[in-house]
């Protein structure tokens, strides 16, 4: 509209200046008409200025909002970013609010300075793929910890009137971008509940009941929730009684439901199902969400461990068993400063070394790693375990590797690990430092390989996993078969053997890292290889020795 007005003003001015005066303005009466035209032009420019002012007021309002959000976030950045939904909102701001503001600026003459500054920054700001990843992390937290959208959003910094919009946006990303109707439904249902609170929404975030219900009806149908699809369509029909599409959809859902529950005669079943069908239905009713979604048993166990479900997490129970000790392993290096050893689990043996690494060393490691940390990376883990639907995506920030001799700190750490474990450090891999963001996780895996031909220096005989940070919530390391759960503690490390003494792989060491709910998780790994350990950890003869 504004553009048209400006064009009219400019075209009119242009027209006036190019008119050949001799033809038109010879008579006084002709000239009199010019005043009228000029008045119209003045009115047009006045209208232009009024609209431009209005636009600037709008831009100022939007900018003020962004200024406030930025200030609030920065006030206590660590606590702000430790909330999983705040992380999502921060990224979303660059895809929604900033784009909206830019559009308002671009309506009129684009300010070169503004465009220059912003396009320079653009590549360094969150992109759509980051928003997709942040939403993915929310769904993972939902699946793992059984959070609802409302509980995930609770305590996040956002205006009440935008709650429905934000919730719908997470659902929309699931529905359209990830083609994941299963995760779209609860977010859209929540958006629908909040929308009904009838709170005023901003112009850019307009969301209406029909839009949500339309999505919900189709998503429910896709997920074979026919009753829900029909109920949402009923609501749509109340809003738009003349819609042929909704009426047709409703008829189709009804047809499918009738077919499903068609009376079959003698069974006596209320729903009219045949005996086998009734049994099948009963079985289905007893199934939980994970059964229905065909989730791999390892992933179920992993999730249960992450949640800390009763009876799944196992602890050392023998009261006589001394689990903590100061140990020097007859190593002169440890005589003055012994290892603080805790046996966290017995089969397989998992040892926690407390205070194995100092805060200064941790800072040095993080500084080495930070320039190499490619944040928000997405890895695909195709763990081919037949028949089951698997969660394949995992998203962590991971650094590259740091060589043994890259700094004095690294040399010292390798020496300490050698002293603690009694293993040779000659065939160890480079140190790997990793950082998990919100929702960052590592699905169950073994650290050893079964494809021994490809391994130089032998298989990974043992793992030492250092915790370089505390994690506010989530982020535990869990051992799937054993049922062990270890909470990261800054400065400690866990150690375990991946192989038996006879070289066979120990399948009980399957482990993973639970999604981070709040805070950020830093770890470092040192993997020790078999070669050179022959005298340090001599062969046994028993099957599991
Ligand atoms: O960070 C962890 O807790 C973790 C868990 C399992 C790390 C690794 N594996 C690994 O880097 O191999
Ligand atoms: Zn691992």
Q: How many CB atoms lie within 10 A of CB 448?
A: 24
Q: What was the pLDDT predicted at 382?
A: 38
> CA–CA separation, 287 vs 277, rounded Å?
15
Segment 454-488, tens digit of pLDDT: 667 888 999 999 999 999 999 999 999 999 999 99
**pLDDT-based confidence at residue 212 (cuts at 50, 70, 90):** very high
Q: Who's near 315: CB < 8 A, 6+ residues apart?
A: none
For residue 341, the CA-to-ligand 1 centroid distance in Å is 20
For residue 312, the CA-to-ligand 2 centroid distance in Å is 20
For residue 294, the CA-to-ligand 2 centroid distance in Å is 25
**Which has the higher per-residue pLDDT, 39 or 67?**
67
- Cα torsion through 36, 42, 43, 44, rounded to 10: 110
Query: Which of 367-376, 381-390, 453-462 has maximum average pLDDT?
Result: 453-462
Q: What was the pLDDT predicted at 120?
A: 66
Q: What was the pLDDT predicted at 395?
A: 46
Tell me if 513 CB under 6 Å of ligand 1.
Answer: yes
**Which has the higher per-residue pLDDT, 304 or 24?**
304
The 8-class DSSP code of residue 82 comes to: T
Q: Is the pLDDT of residue 353 over 70?
A: yes
Segment 130-189, tens digit of pLDDT: 888 889 999 999 999 999 999 999 999 998 888 999 999 999 999 999 999 999 999 999
Tell me if 479 CB under 6 Å of ligand 1.
Answer: no
Ligand nearest to the CA of 478: 1
Mutate to test the pocket of ligand 1, among 523, 524, 526, 528 (most ligand atoms within 8 A of CB): 523
Minimum CA distance residue for ligand 1 atom 9: 512
The CATH architecture annotation of domain 300-305+313-529 reads Sandwich (2.60)
Tell me if 105 CB under 6 Å of ligand 1.
Answer: no
Q: Is the pLDDT of residue 261 over 90?
A: no
Q: What is the mean pLDDT of residues 78-100?
A: 90
For residue 529, the CA-to-ligand 1 centroid distance in Å is 17
For residue 115, the CA-to-ligand 2 centroid distance in Å is 46
The residue ranges of every structural domain in the chain are 2-59, 300-305+313-529
For residue 512, the CA-to-ligand 2 centroid distance in Å is 6
3-state secondary structure 413-425: HHHHHHHHHCCCC
Tell me if 341 CB under 6 Å of ligand 1.
Answer: no
Lowest model confidence (mean pLDDT) among 314-323, 355-364, 521-530:
314-323
**Which has the higher per-residue pLDDT, 543 or 102?**
102
> What are the tokens at 190?
């929540």
**Which has the higher per-residue pLDDT, 503 or 20?**
503
Tell me if 511 CB under 6 Å of ligand 1.
Answer: yes
Lowest model confidence (mean pLDDT) among 63-67, 216-220, 238-242, 322-326:
322-326
Q: Is the pLDDT of residue 254 over 70?
A: yes
Mutate to test the pocket of ligand 1, among 482, 512, 519 (most ligand atoms within 8 A of CB): 512
Query: Percentage of the chain with pLDDT > 70?
Result: 78
Tell me if 142 CB under 6 Å of ligand 1.
Answer: no
For residue 513, the CA-to-ligand 1 centroid distance in Å is 6
Q: How many CB atoms lie within 10 A of CB 457?
A: 16
Question: Atom of ligand 1 at shortest distance to CA of 432?
Answer: 11
**pLDDT-based confidence at residue 257 (cuts at 50, 70, 90):** very high
Q: What was the pLDDT predicted at 64?
A: 96
**Which has the higher per-residue pLDDT, 379 or 209?**
209
Tell me if 395 CB under 6 Å of ligand 1.
Answer: no
> CA–CA separation, 23 vs 12, rounded Å?
18
Q: What is the mean pLDDT of residues 417-446?
A: 89
């Amino acid at each position: 509209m504004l553009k048209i007005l400006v064009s009219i003003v400019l075209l009119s001015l242009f027209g006036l200046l190019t008119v050949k005066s001799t033809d038109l303005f010879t008579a006084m009466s002709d000239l009199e008409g010019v005043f009228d035209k000029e008045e119209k032009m003045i009115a047009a420019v006045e209208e232009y200025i009024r609209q431009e002012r209005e636009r600037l007021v709008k831009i100022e309002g939007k900018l003020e909002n962004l200024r406030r959000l930025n200030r609030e976030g920065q006030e206590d950045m660590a606590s702000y970013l430790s909330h999983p939904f705040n992380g999502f909102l921060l990224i979303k701001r660059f895809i929604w609010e900033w784009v909206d503001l830019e559009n308002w600026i671009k309506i009129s003459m684009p300010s070169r300075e503004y465009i220059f500054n912003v396009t320079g920054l653009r590549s360094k700001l969150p992109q759509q793929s980051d928003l997709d990843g942040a939403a993915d992390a929310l769904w993972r937290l939902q699946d793992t910890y059984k959070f609802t959208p409302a509980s995930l959003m609770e305590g996040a910094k956002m205006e009440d009137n935008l709650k429905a919009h934000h919730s719908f946006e997470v659902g929309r990303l699931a529905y359209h971008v990830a083609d994941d109707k299963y995760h779209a439904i609860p977010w859209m249902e929540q958006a629908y509940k909040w929308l009904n609170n009838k709170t005023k929404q901003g112009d850019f975030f307009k969301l209406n009941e029909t839009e949500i219900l339309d999505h919900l009806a189709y998503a429910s149908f896709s997920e074979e929730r026919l009753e829900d699809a029909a109920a949402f369509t009923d609501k749509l029909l109340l809003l738009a009684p003349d819609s042929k599409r909704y009426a047709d959809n409703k008829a189709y859902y009804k047809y499918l439901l009738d077919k499903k529950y068609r009376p079959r005669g003698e069974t006596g079943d209320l729903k009219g199902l045949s005996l086998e069908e009734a049994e099948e239905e009963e079985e289905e009713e007893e199934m939980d969400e994970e059964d229905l979604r065909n989730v791999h048993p390892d992933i179920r166990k992993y999730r249960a461990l992450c949640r800390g479900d009763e009876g799944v997490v196992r602890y050392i129970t023998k009261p006589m068993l001394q689990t903590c000790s100061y140990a020097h392993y007859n190593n002169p290096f440890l005589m003055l400063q012994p290892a603080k050893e805790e046996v966290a689990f017995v089969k397989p043996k998992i040892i926690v070394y407390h205070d194995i690494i100092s805060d200064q060393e941790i800072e040095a490691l993080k500084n080495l790693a930070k320039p190499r940390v490619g944040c928000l990376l997405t890895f695909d883990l195709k763990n081919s375990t037949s028949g089951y639907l698997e969660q394949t995506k995992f998203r962590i920030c991971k650094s590259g590797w740091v060589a043994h001799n890259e700094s004095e700190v690294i040399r010292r750490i390798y020496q300490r690990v050698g002293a603690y474990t009694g293993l040779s450090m000659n065939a160890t891999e480079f140190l790997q430092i990793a950082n998990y963001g919100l929702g960052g996780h590592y699905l169950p895996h073994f650290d050893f390989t079964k494809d021994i031909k490809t391994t130089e220096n032998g298989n990974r005989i043992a793992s030492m996993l250092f915790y370089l940070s505390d994690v506010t919530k989530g982020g535990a390391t869990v051992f799937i078969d054993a049922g062990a759960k270890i909470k990261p503690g800054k400065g400690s490390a866990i150690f375990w053997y991946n192989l038996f003494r006879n070289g066979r792989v120990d399948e009980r060491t399957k482990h993973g890292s639970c999604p981070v709910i709040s805070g950020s998780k830093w770890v470092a790994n040192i993997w020790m290889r078999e070669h050179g350990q022959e005298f340090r950890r001599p062969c046994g003869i028993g099957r599991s020795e």
